[in-house]
Amino acid sequence: MSPVPLSPSDPAAQGVDASGVHAFLDALEAAPEIEPHSLMIVRHGRVVAAGWWAPYTPDRPQLLYSLSKSFTGTAAALAEAEGLLDFDAPVLSYFPEFEADITDPRSRALRVRHVASMASGHDHETLQEAYARDPVEPVRGFLLVPPDADPGTVFAYNQPATYTLAAIVQRVTGQPLTAYLRPRLLDPLGIGEAVWRRDRTGREIGFSGLHATTDAVARLGELYLRDGVWDGERLLPEGWAARAAHPRTPTAGAMGTADRDDWDRGYGYQFWTSRHGYRGDGAYGQFCLVLPEQDAVIATTAATEQMQRYLDLVWEHLLPSFGPGPLSGREGADAELRERLAGLALPPAPGRAAPPGPAGHRDAAEYRAADGTGPVRAASVARDARGWTLSLTGRDHDDRLDLRIGEPGWAVAGGPVPTAVSGGWSDTGTLAVEVQFLETPHRLAVTCSPADGTVVSRWRTQPLHPGPLTSLRAPRDSG
């Protein structure tokens, strides 16, 4: 059953100036370093603007990366409310089988609230260390990495901290995160498909890997904006939203780069403090912005390494568009904005629909990666009665992806790995295509050169989860 849509409204009726949204869209289109995929703006509980850049669509879940953490923190809050989890309890108390192995006093002093707030005492990311110390059980590996300071005194963005929080929730509830959240959060909010990446232990990893729609992100933000109340029903404990948003440990300078104003404001329980309001965020521009002063939520998905730049554009253009009351005489502007949002699209790559030369020329060709770099090891192009197919072979021999090419615009294909392909042949016979993996933020550029029989491939944004090309999708067959 499809979820019931959030109630729409004209922007002006909710005090939102459409010109500010236009300015934001203009700024995104003028920023080559930002590839937007979706945008939802909710004001006073009503959707005033929603758009997806084709080939992305509203009903397709997308990898949220670290925005997954905000759902994990929500699961921990629910488990606490049910008496299954204590934020002040030692982490080790939930894993008594590790008692004899964990001897470092700081690791033994680690509390649930410390891992929930990225304040484990480590001053750096420990993911690789944790897996190196125990490749089979990441929680044990994490606890074997001695903290650099007392827990609660320093901040470090540290994936095993959230992984451990997720592992505790799954242990005390006896369920994967999605199964636990389904009757308590996902179904009441009207969230449809939501699937989470698992690791070799069978756990949903918690710190990343959740695939859900932009609509699901907007609903979570709206729930937090309303202090856990949805449609008159309390879903989250009273006051939890304020607890989650309250910065626990200073983060200024902790991320190690300059010009990151919105990462220097503090971290709560799986939410960041922003210059305005607070947020969940994930790599490459997956955002859930909760703005209590504006009574608004902004949900986005994108592909950009310039995440601060994206937020700067939100503060510059969208924030001033929120006025104190309804605006009159804006029907035309609102209609123009709706039309623009309905027609958003990523520009397809250029190219001819077929290679140059006489019919039948080079109906099949093989290509090899000459330098050993890039995710594609080999490629082949062939024509049949239906048209042209580009077959990509990843670094593993059984990692094969077949793509229809030569169609105008974006050629969208469903199946186990939903993709969209654009591009084609140049006058010299070179084939250059862009492959959008539609359940992730990622795009792959592939160039096949007939002159030397080589294929070159590179990611526009690098996937952060290791795996073959065919793993770039929602993990529906897991578990």
Whether 369 and 335 map to the same domain: the answer is: no
Strand arrangement, sheet containing 443-449 = 400-405, 387-394, 376-384, 364-368, 454-459, 443-449, 431-437, 419-425, 411-413
- Round to whole Å and give the CA distance between 114 and 267: 11
The pLDDT value given to residue 232: 96
Which of 351, 458, 457 lies closest to 410, judged by CA? 351
Whether 183 and 280 map to the same domain: the answer is: yes
Mean pLDDT score, 325-337: 97
Whether 370 and 338 map to the same domain: the answer is: no
3-state helix, strand, coil in the chain (%, to 5): 30, 25, 45
Whether 222 and 264 map to the same domain: the answer is: yes
8 Å CB contact between 69 and 203: no
**Of residues 360 and 336, which shows the higher confidence score?**
336
**Of residues 137 and 371, which shows the higher confidence score?**
137
- Round to whole Å and give the CA distance between 198 and 356: 46
pLDDT tens for each residue of 239-256: 999 999 999 988 987 765
Q: Is 5 a member of any domain? A: no
Whether 189 and 63 map to the same domain: the answer is: yes
- Round to whole Å and give the CA distance between 461 and 422: 17
Q: How many domains does the chain have?
A: 2
Mean pLDDT score, 387-405: 93
Mean pLDDT score, 55-65: 97
8 Å CB contact between 446 and 457: yes
pLDDT tens for each residue of 104-146: 999 999 999 999 999 999 999 999 999 999 999 999 999 999 9
Q: Is 250 a member of any domain? A: yes
The pLDDT value given to residue 259: 64
Whether 383 and 307 map to the same domain: the answer is: no
- CATH number of the domain at 320, please: 3.40.710.10
Q: How confident is the model at residue 364 (pLDDT cuts 50, 70, 90)?
A: confident
> Coil, strand or helix: which one is 6?
coil
Whether 291 and 332 map to the same domain: the answer is: yes
> Residue 13: what residue type?
A
User: What range does the domain containing 275 cover?
Assistant: 11-82+165-342
Whether 296 and 331 map to the same domain: the answer is: yes
In the predicted structure, residue 279 carries a pLDDT above the cut 60: yes
Q: Is 182 a member of any domain? A: yes
- Round to whole Å and give the CA distance between 254 and 156: 6
Whether 318 and 446 map to the same domain: the answer is: no
Whether 429 and 285 map to the same domain: the answer is: no
Q: Is 411 a member of any domain? A: yes
The pLDDT value given to residue 478: 45
> Residue 128: what residue type?
Q
Q: Is 383 a member of any domain? A: yes
The pLDDT value given to residue 1: 47
The pLDDT value given to residue 396: 84
In the predicted structure, residue 329 carries a pLDDT above the cut 70: yes
Q: What percent of the chain has pLDDT over 70?
A: 96
Task: Indicate the angle between helix axes 214-225 and 68-81, nearest 10 degrees.
Answer: 50
- Round to whole Å and give the CA distance between 367 and 365: 7
In the predicted structure, residue 371 carries a pLDDT above the cut 60: yes
The pLDDT value given to residue 369: 95
DSSP state of 48: E
Q: Is 328 a member of any domain? A: yes
Q: Is 89 a member of any domain? A: no
The pLDDT value given to residue 359: 53
Q: Is 246 a member of any domain? A: yes
Indicate the burial class of 106 (C-beta count within 10 angstroms; 0-12, 13-18, 19 or more): middle
Whether 428 and 333 map to the same domain: the answer is: no
Mean pLDDT score, 40-51: 98
Among the three residues 342, 376, 392, which one is the final residue of a domain in this structure?
Answer: 342
Mean pLDDT score, 367-378: 91
- Written as six digits, the tokens of 290 are 């909760």
| Of the listed ranges 251-260, 415-424, 467-476, the one predicted with least confidence | 251-260
In the predicted structure, residue 368 carries a pLDDT above the cut 90: yes
Whether 330 and 390 map to the same domain: the answer is: no
In the predicted structure, residue 448 carries a pLDDT above the cut 50: yes
Q: What is the mean pLDDT of the chain?
A: 95
The pLDDT value given to residue 358: 66
Which of 142, 135, 132 lies closest to 165, judged by CA? 142
